[in-house]
Amino acid sequence: MNRSKGASSTPLQSSSKIRDGVSRVLDSLPSDEPQAAARSARRRLKKKETKRVVQGALEKHFASEELKPYQGELIKLQQHIEKTGKKVIILFDGRDASGKGGTIRRVTRYMNEKRYRVVALGKPTDQQKTELHMKRYIEQLPHAGEIVLFDRSWYNRAMVEPVMGFCTPKQYRSFMKRVSGYEERILADGTTYLIKLYFSVSKSEQNRRFERRRHDPLRRWKLSEVDLQAQDLWDEFTLKKFQLLQKTHTEISPWHIIRSDNKQLARRETIKLILNLVPYRGRSRRIDFQLDPDVVISGKRELQLMRKQRRKHGKFLT
């Protein structure tokens, strides 16, 4: 399979092309029958508008098709995990609007729903606040033969909570001191894989995604208290990212950074990374599993880049 490393469009941009193309005639189309609306739109659209719609539809189609061979490999991986009784934990962390949820949906799209869980924990209850921070996450860890994907993980204590004042400095320091030990104990049984992913989005792209959420009634629910302050607190979050990698990127439990401004590339490379990190039987020899080094960066390399930025510019830029 060819690597579309230079692809410039994402499914989001392709959808926008389709919406923009039909916007002029949208109000006059039949509302109760999609096929009738499509035929009517085709008759009324100008040549330039039709070209935009077709281009957007083709981009969206081929973006979806590009993922399918890798999604097929994920099914093999899942079946192997079930047969061997292994356990897989995948952490999806990073800034708001960095593409974590969309990537999780692509990872799990064709998997057996009975053998995986997506965990997205809300605010802790009053009782949970009095307990060990890790306890409610430990309760969600996979059973034998299961994959669990955390849409934000215990590393909330290392990023969002200290920046937003949701934990005390003492709680933050205690977590950072102990978390690597927790992870070593989770992996000590020799049957568990832990994959830690940090999704890294640029400030300008994050702002663009926030603006879309503000104006799209289907996405407005995604705007949270943290989202509304994320741009103003950009530097604070960046510092916490640096400290996160500095303290918790270990040989046993490393971080993998996903550059996610281009959602399609981020989704594809994330799936490939998972397939590379978890051994399984029946791996295809016809698919390109080589990772794009512009999209997937090791935690160690990201630390080097951030230190270089600080020396050159006096601050972190990512």
| Order of strands across the sheet that contains 87-94 | 116-119, 146-151, 87-94, 192-200, 255-259, 296-298
DSSP letter for each residue of 199-259: EE--HHHHHHHHHHHHH-TTTGGG--HHHHHHTTTHHHHHHHHHHHHHHH--SSS-EEEEE
Please determine, for residue 11, whether its predicted confidence score (pLDDT) is greater than 50: no
Task: Classify 290 as helix, strand or coil.
Answer: coil
CA distance 274 to 278: 6
Please determine, for residue 286, whether its predicted confidence score (pLDDT) is greater than 80: yes
Predicted confidence at residue 187, as pLDDT, reads 98
CA distance 292 to 272: 10
User: Looking at beta carbons, which pairs linking 116-120 to residues 24 or more positions away fall under 8 Å?
Assistant: 116/78, 116/146, 116/147, 116/148, 116/149, 117/142, 117/146, 117/147, 117/148, 117/149, 118/148, 118/149, 118/151, 119/148, 119/149, 119/150, 119/151, 120/150, 120/151, 120/152
Please determine, for residue 154, whether its predicted confidence score (pLDDT) is greater than 90: yes
Please determine, for residue 1, whether its predicted confidence score (pLDDT) is greater than 50: no
Structure tokens at 17: 């092309």
Terminal Cα-to-Cα distance of the chain (whole angstroms): 31
Residue type, 156: N
Contacts of 298 (CB under 8 A, 6+ apart): 254, 255, 256, 257
- The 10s digit of each residue's pLDDT in 245-265 is 999 999 999 999 999 999 999
- The 10s digit of each residue's pLDDT in 30-81 is 777 888 877 887 787 788 877 888 878 888 888 889 999 999 999 999 999 9
Predicted confidence at residue 36, as pLDDT, reads 82
Q: Locate all alpha helices (DSSP H) within the chain, ordered by sequence.
A: 11-22, 34-44, 47-84, 100-108, 126-129, 135-138, 160-164, 169-187, 203-215, 225-230, 234-248, 263-277, 299-313
Contact (CB, 8 A) for 253 and 194: yes
Report, as an integer, the average pLDDT of 211-229.
Answer: 86
Contacts of 146 (CB under 8 A, 6+ apart): 81, 82, 87, 88, 115, 116, 117
Structure tokens at 263: 């959602």
* Domains identified in the chain and CATH numbers: 68-313 (3.40.50.300)
- The 10s digit of each residue's pLDDT in 103-134 is 999 999 999 999 999 999 998 999 999 999 99
Banded pLDDT at 7 (limits 50, 70, 90): very low
- The 10s digit of each residue's pLDDT in 139-151 is 999 999 999 999 9
